[in-house]
Structure 1
């Protein structure tokens, strides 16, 4: 279920970044901040379990950042 949610957020951020690049920064940063909280909470578990619990949040945060930058990059390449 979390995977579907992250994919939906990435699509929304990419579309937002394409159409309104300046206004897409705030939702992107907010989403990454929220995922960072989950990552920090998961990493408090001891040893390998902490790395295992924080990894999905780290990769999701990275995916959100990439989708936002991809939307802004695609907008920059448009002729208008």
Structure 2
């Protein structure tokens, strides 16, 4: 369920970054901030459990960042 939500957010952000590059930065930062809160909460667990609990949030945040930058990069390369 969570994976589907992250994929949907990345897809929406990709389209938004392609159509409105400047306006896509705020939703991207908000999503990354929310995922960062989850990552910090998960990493408060001791030892390897903390790394295990925070990893999905870190990788999701990285995916959101890559999705936004890919949309803006594709827009800059487009001929129009």
Q: TM-score, normalised by structure 1?
A: 0.99
Deviation at residue 63 of structure 1 after TM alignment: 0.0
Q: How does 1:1-80 map to 2 (within 5 A)?
A: 1-80=1-80
What is the Cα-based RMSD across aligned positions, in Å? Answer: 0.2
Give deviations 1:21-44, integer Å, cap 9, x for gaps.
000000000000000000000000
Q: Distance in 2 between matches of 1:79 and 1:38?
A: 39
Runs of 4+ residues over 3 Å off in structure 1: none
* C-alpha distance in 2 between matches for 1:78 and 1:35: 31
User: Which residues of structure 1 form unaligned runs of 5+?
Assistant: none
Count of aligned positions:
80
Name the SS of the counterpart of 2:30 in structure 1.
Answer: helix
Task: Report the CA distance between 1:78 and its aligned residue.
Answer: 0.6
What's the TM-score, normalizing by structure 2?
Answer: 0.99
